[in-house]
Structure 1
Amino acid sequence: MTKILNVRHLGKSYRSGANRLNILDDISFQVDQGDTFAIVGPSGSGKTTLLGLAAGLDYPDSGTIELCGMDLNTLNEDRRALLRNSEVGFIFQNFQLLPTLTALENVIVPLELQGSPNALEIGKELLRKVGLSDRMGHYPSQLSGGEQQRVALARAFSNKPSILFADEPTGNLDEETGEKVIRLLFDLNREAGTTLVIVTHDLDLAKKCNRVLRLKGGRVIADIPTEQLRV
């Protein structure tokens, strides 16, 4: 099985006044192509920091990350950006839609960056799949939280990513809306055959994945198949 993400001996710290705060300590794991993988742990355990490093949004202090066969340590920021735009999708807790663009325009941004001649058609089809055919011309401020996250879902899959990173994708949604978004996420993921990496504090969501990496105090305390997960 091809390893789409290979993290080895990762370390990250930040300066806090005169001290350095250790966030991640000797983190190693691998994710197979097509796998669904959850990263769980209490607040402050380093989940979001790890996700950002794995996606090439930040640089580690130590260790290596291979993403889609590329060693991120060898790539400058321009080449990292090209890799993300061609191979990576993102879903964030706070949606991160561009407020001056409509739902459809938000979805097709990655496609336009790639120069896709079919951007409009692809964007419309994805919004149809997430149930927003009648909201394409609406701006984020005119959409509910659940609708905004569905637009973000459509955008995340628009460039047919090899791997999708989701950071607390239901964190700002009520339970019922969150469940709908997660069903859509896994349905779209299954259809596209995308590798899915989710950061979450929600163990019910984590249990929908094949594997779970558990962090505590910036260290891995478990890396197990989901059926072995205990609350």
Structure 2
Amino acid sequence: MAKILNVEHLEKSYSSGSKTLKVLQDISFSVEERETFAIVGPSGSGKTTLLGLCAGLDRPDSGNITLCGTELNSLNEDERAVLRNQKVGFIFQDFQLLPTLTALENVSVPLELQGVKSASKTARELLGKVGLADRLDHYPSQLSGGEQQRVAVARAFSNGPSLLFADEPTGNLDAETGEKVERLLFDLNKELGTTLVIVTHDIDLARRTQKILRLKGGKIVAKDISASW
């Protein structure tokens, strides 16, 4: 299969006062189309920073990232935003739903802004797939955490992404609800043929993926670990 994400010798540092903090050092790996892939490691290991760089939300100090066949270093901010809108979906730990929009609007409005004519129909279908057909007109404050994350999952898949990035997607959920969201995420991913890259502290969740990359102190300490790890 073709590589949908290729990372070569990535480096990233941040300045803190007079000090320079090296967050990522010489990171190289690739993810193939339709693959499920987990990035694991302790807090402060650089997982979320790496995810942001791979998605083009930030720029590395050095190294190259090729996302969906396009080198991110060659794109300006607007061009990277267009690529994300067309090819990438996101799921976050804190849901990031707009509180003034209903569940249906949270999924359909991003599509409408992209000029998708069937935005409402697509949103209804996806919310039905995640078991929220009877919650379309509910606002986030009227939904449980698990329901809010299911809305976020529906929104992430709404643009038919080639690649979906999930940052601690079950981090704010109890074990039972998290398991339901995990199952939903993997089922939808398989059904729609998306590539899935998950950042997680949850080793059980990571083991559900085909490959695992382990970070510690901004460096890769293990790559392509089997699910038995």
Instruction: Give the TM interval when normalised to the shorter protein.
Output: over 0.9
**Corresponding residue of 2:47:** 47
- Which aligned pairs between 1:59-208 and structure 2 lie closer than 5 A? 59-208=59-208
Query: Percentage identity across aligned positions?
Result: 72
TM-score w.r.t. the length of structure 2 is: 0.98
- Conservation of the 8 A alpha-carbon contact between 1:209 and 1:226: no
Tell me how far apart the structure 2 counterparts of residues 220 and 107 of structure 1 sit (CA, whole Å). Answer: 36
**Corresponding residue of 1:25:** 25
- Residue 17 of structure 1, CA deviation: 1.0
- Counterpart amino acid of 2:36? T
- Counterpart amino acid of 2:156? A
Q: Deviations over 1:49-104 (max 9, x none)?
A: 00000011111111010000111011111111110000000000000011111100
- Counterpart amino acid of 2:25? D
- Residue 109 of structure 1, CA deviation: 2.6
Tell me how far apart the structure 2 counterparts of residues 109 and 164 of structure 1 sit (CA, whole Å). Answer: 19
- Conservation of the 8 A alpha-carbon contact between 2:207 and 2:228: no
- Counterpart amino acid of 1:117? K
- Return 5+ residue gaps in structure 1 as ranges: none
Tell me how far apart the structure 1 counterparts of residues 26 and 5 of structure 2 sit (CA, whole Å). Answer: 16
- Residue 116 of structure 1, CA deviation: 1.1
**SS of 2:6 mapped into structure 1:** strand
- Conservation of the 8 A alpha-carbon contact between 1:40 and 1:215: yes
- Counterpart amino acid of 1:72? L
- Counterpart amino acid of 1:204? D
- Conservation of the 8 A alpha-carbon contact between 1:7 and 1:30: yes
Number of residue pairs matched? 229
Higher mean displacement: 112-121 or 125-134: 112-121
- Conservation of the 8 A alpha-carbon contact between 1:165 and 1:197: yes
Tell me how far apart the structure 1 counterparts of residues 140 and 174 of structure 2 sit (CA, whole Å). Answer: 18
- Residue 142 of structure 1, CA deviation: 1.1
- Which aligned pairs between 1:210-229 and structure 2 lie closer than 5 A? 210-229=210-229
Tell me how far apart the structure 1 counterparts of residues 150 and 167 of structure 2 sit (CA, whole Å). Answer: 14
- Return 5+ residue gaps in structure 2 as ranges: none
Tell me how far apart the structure 2 counterparts of residues 163 and 227 of structure 1 sit (CA, whole Å). Answer: 21
TM-score w.r.t. the length of structure 1 is: 0.97
**Cα RMSD, aligned residues only:** 0.8
Q: Deviations over 1:83-138 (max 9, x none)?
A: 00000000000000111111001111331122111111110010011111111111
Moved over 3 A (4+): none
- Residue 170 of structure 1, CA deviation: 0.4
- Residue 224 of structure 1, CA deviation: 1.6
Tell me how far apart the structure 2 counterparts of residues 228 and 9 of structure 1 sit (CA, whole Å). Answer: 27
